[in-house]
Amino acid sequence: MSTPILVTGGTGTLGRLVVPLLRAAGHPVRVLSRRGGPADPGIQQVRADLLGDDDLEPALRGVETVLHLAGGPKGDDRATGNLVRAARRAGVRHLAYISVIGADRVPLGYFRAKLGAERALADSGVPWTILRAAQFHDLVLVMARTMARLPVIPVPGGLRFQPVDARDVAARLVELALGAPAGPVPDLAGPRIHPIAELLRGYLRATGRRRPFLPVRVPGRIGRVYRAGENLSLDGNIGTRTWEAFLAECTAPAGSPAGGLAGRRTGPEARPAEEHGPEATPADGSGQAPASSKAWRR
């Protein structure tokens, strides 16, 4: 039996896709999160807060590879610092981390914290791999759903996104975690670059709604950085699934073969505008994605 792979954030949107892939590859998995999750055969759950004073030694005992996916709107630099110090003490041999495209370019707190987390890994003395990914479709869905609640949707001109399917990110991360430490690897983004209005139009069409758009301009440096496309990846790897295909899955009747997103949820955290970019209003408090083809519209 191989040593367990520790997956921090293994109960989140991404983590819940990664864990079964590791299991399918024959690896025992230990999941770390604050609230815990269901213990299945081959999956051990450990509760700890990476931002608190919890002793991380039990979670890291006997672990050679850590896949660090736990994250939230704030504090990823501190949480990662705590984890990497404990990992070094525990003799971990490979730390793999999910960061975000634009971590070193977008002047928002979430991105700065991701960059700080990247540096904590790079300075840890533990061999590491970092993958930067674009925003997941699930997050764009939360954003679109929230904005569609407004009678008129403010749409910042010149802003584009390249959302990626979390399943593509999960598959790549598993490949990386099971390989040798590789340092910074090419970004992973979605197959198409969309103006934000196009993403919103797709959502409105898929949910049978109509809303007028109000063009707005994001001022200052943040607006300039986004309009310059610093959040995009023009030379990285490209995921396989499009935003349109994701929406089609969401609208498929629950229980149908294509209705694979039924029961899937976005992360437990309601994320601030920063995590999607400057255009977004805060996510709703539920953090829940589609539970059925009707419920996901909300």
Binding site for ligand NAP (CB under 6 A): 8-9, 11-15, 33-35, 49-51, 69-72, 79, 98, 100, 133, 135-136, 139, 267-269
Question: Of 50 and 155, which has the nearer Cβ to ligand NAP?
Answer: 50
Question: Of 70 and 120, which has the nearer Cβ to ligand NAP?
Answer: 70
Nearest approach, Cβ of residue 236 and ligand NAP (Å): 13
Nearest approach, Cβ of residue 212 and ligand NAP (Å): 27
Question: Considering just the CA atoms, what is the radius of gyration of the chain in Å?
Answer: 19
Nearest approach, Cβ of residue 74 and ligand NAP (Å): 10
Distance CA 161, CA 143 (A): 12
Question: Which burial class, exposed, middle or buried, applies to 18 when counting CB atoms under 10 A from its CB (0-12, 13-18, 19+)?
Answer: buried
Distance CA 61, CA 240 (A): 36
Question: Of 165 and 249, which has the nearer Cβ to ligand NAP?
Answer: 165
Question: Of 106 and 133, which has the nearer Cβ to ligand NAP?
Answer: 133
DSSP annotation of 173 reads H
Q: State how far the alpha carbon of 74 is from the alpha carbons of 128, 141, 146, 275, in Å.
A: 22, 21, 20, 10
Distance CA 266, CA 71 (A): 13
Question: Of 211 and 229, which has the nearer Cβ to ligand NAP?
Answer: 229
In the block, which residue shows the tokens 């792979």?
5
Q: Which phi-psi region, left, alpha or beta, contains residue 277 (left: φ > 0; alpha: ψ -120 to 50)? A: left
Nearest approach, Cβ of residue 36 and ligand NAP (Å): 7
Question: Of 183 and 219, which has the nearer Cβ to ligand NAP?
Answer: 183
Q: State how far the alpha carbon of 73 is from the alpha carbons of 76, 84, 109, 153, 251, in Å.
A: 8, 19, 9, 24, 28
Nearest approach, Cβ of residue 152 and ligand NAP (Å): 26
Nearest approach, Cβ of residue 208 and ligand NAP (Å): 26
